[in-house]
Amino acid sequence: MASASTYIIGCKLPNGLTIGPEGQQVKLAGTNDSLLINGFGITRDVPTDAWDNFTKLFAGQPLLTNGIVFAVTDEKSAKDASKERASQKTGLERLDPNKQSTKPD
């Protein structure tokens, strides 16, 4: 369980994301992780200063405003937030080959 000085981060990017200043970087799990909750990779015990600096630097960016990456303080909130955002598209999803209009050579 995360304490008040840490966050639980949900990330829907395929390869995750690395945040934080040089030397204190935190690798966030993405959808390529083996443990997903509603399509989000979950990273526990992320220091608040790393997350707060990241949100200051990238405020207004679609990955934050669209909920592709989010932070909460407890497990129940992580499950609820990921369920709310489960249908959110990142633009990096795999294409369905059956729906493509290209033909082989």
What would the DSSP string read from start to end of 11-72?
Answer: E-STT-EEESSTTS-EEEP-TTSS-EETTEEEEEEEEHHHHHHHHHHTTT-HHHHTTSEEEE
Q: Mean pLDDT over residues 45-58, rounded?
A: 93
pLDDT, position 71: 96
pLDDT digits (tens, 9 = 90+) for 5-22: 899 999 999 999 999 877
